[in-house]
Amino acid sequence: MRIAEVNDIASVATEIAVGLRTLGHEVDFFAPRLFGARLPAFVKPVTAPARALDWLDLIRRVRAGHYDLAHIHYAYLGNLGRLGRFPYILHCHGTDLRGESAFTRPLVRSAVRGARHVFYATPDLWPYLRDLRPDAEFLPNPIDLERFAPASPPSAGAGVFICCALTEIKGAGTVLEACAILAGRRPDIRFTAYAGGAYAPQFEALPNVTLIARQPRWKLPAIINQHAVVAGQMKLGTAGMAELEAMACARPVVTWFNEPDAYPEAPPFVSVSTADEMAREIERLVDDRAASDSAGASGRDWIARHHSLANVAARVESVARAIVDGVPVPPPH
């Protein structure tokens, strides 16, 4: 098949493209320019003329490529398929549904309804889709287990890597409180986080936190592997690519996970819901190296069973093949 992957969210599209090519398909990637993506919601409509021109160009290029179908990432961008009148799979990722505005809501609903099939990347997105698309399917994010692999056991690392953004939606306030607790109780436990986000100045003010500039993606496995423990988001109750990639590196991940029924077996996150619990579990894992190594190994094994690129690409392939052949989409395994 010839497949167009459109837009990349957390590297999911480019990872799936690699997996589909391995299966023998011809895959091209298209990146929208997304004018004004970082502007406040009430300002974004001003960018509509520029975006419209970019959409028309994208539609022209996809249609000129004579693809069997497109796999479009981020909900409202599915309208590229509707306007271009080509079949598409829509892949929803989070903010595209959680952050709907009066401006984007009609676009999202149009895109979701027009898709031949709908995937969503994290279990918490189901409530946003069940009325519009009761056939929407949770597709675990693909993790490259060769790139994200342990260079050493967690016990050989030092300190804690905060893998989530320092923003409200990621529960950074709770992570900040946990860091503050340990600054007083265990000043020897050091934290590293990416600079940026509304909470960054408060993290920087703590004596046990070091902020670093955001690094190229290829450096991320090495950064994770330098640390003994990884701290993740504390608000959404689900795991994003950052937490999953840390787990693939065999690091114990302390985060809040509240979707135990999303998988055939519950993921071995160290799940906590408060700052006190997060601080206590981080302290335990730093001190108990055997427990840290065991948790890390269990996490990597679980990622291999449920998030391998080969399995995710195979599922996209089976859905795409059914759409191209004009037959019902087979149920997921």
pLDDT tens figures, 243-288: 999 999 999 999 999 987 889 999 999 999 999 999 999 999 999 9
Domain count, the chain: 2
Please check whether residues 138 and 53 belong to one and the same domain.
Answer: yes
Please check whether residues 158 and 296 belong to one and the same domain.
Answer: yes
**In this structure, what is the dihedral angle of CA atoms 78, 84, 87, 93, given to the nearest 10 degrees?**
-10
Report the phi/psi class of residue 326: left, alpha or beta, with left for phi > 0 and alpha for psi in -120 to 50. Answer: left
Q: What is the DSSP letter of 143?
A: B
Confidence of residue 104 (pLDDT cuts 50, 70, 90): confident
Tokens of 319: 């859905």
Confidence of residue 34 (pLDDT cuts 50, 70, 90): low
Please check whether residues 131 and 212 belong to one and the same domain.
Answer: no
Please check whether residues 131 and 187 belong to one and the same domain.
Answer: no
Cα separation, 312 vs 95, whole angstroms: 22
Please check whether residues 73 and 44 belong to one and the same domain.
Answer: yes
Please check whether residues 118 and 30 belong to one and the same domain.
Answer: yes
Indicate whether 204 belongs to any domain.
yes
Contacting residues for 78 by C-beta, under 8 A, at least 6 apart: 72, 88, 90, 110, 111, 112, 114, 115
Indicate whether 171 belongs to any domain.
yes
Side chain identity at 185, as an amino acid letter? Answer: R
* CA dist 137 → 110, 229, 268, 304, 326 (Å): 18, 32, 22, 20, 19
Please check whether residues 15 and 87 belong to one and the same domain.
Answer: yes
Indicate whether 333 belongs to any domain.
no
Max mean pLDDT range (9-13, 101-105, 142-146, 205-209): 205-209
CATH number for the domain spanning 123: value is: 3.40.50.2000
Cα separation, 149 vs 1, whole angstroms: 31
Average pLDDT for the chain: 92
**In this structure, what is the dihedral angle of CA atoms 275, 278, 281, 283, given to the nearest 10 degrees?**
-70
Could you tell me the sign of the dihedral formed by the alpha carbons of 224, 225, 228, 229, in that order?
Answer: positive
Size of the chain, expressed as the number of residues it contains: 333
pLDDT at 42 over 90: no
Indicate whether 41 belongs to any domain.
yes
Indicate whether 149 belongs to any domain.
no
Indicate whether 88 belongs to any domain.
yes
Please check whether residues 166 and 204 belong to one and the same domain.
Answer: yes
Cα separation, 95 vs 236, whole angstroms: 11
Indicate whether 68 belongs to any domain.
yes
pLDDT score, position 101: 79
What are phi and psi for residue 266, nearest 5 degrees? -65, 140
pLDDT score, position 99: 82
Please check whether residues 71 and 21 belong to one and the same domain.
Answer: yes
pLDDT score, position 91: 98
Please check whether residues 94 and 218 belong to one and the same domain.
Answer: no
pLDDT score, position 260: 79
pLDDT score, position 198: 96
Indicate whether 331 belongs to any domain.
no
The residue range of the domain holding 240 is: 154-306
Please check whether residues 107 and 165 belong to one and the same domain.
Answer: no
Asked if 238 and 253 touch (Cβ cutoff 8 Å), the reply is: no
Please check whether residues 317 and 179 belong to one and the same domain.
Answer: no
Tokens of 47: 């960018």
**Cα distance between the two ends of the chain:** 22
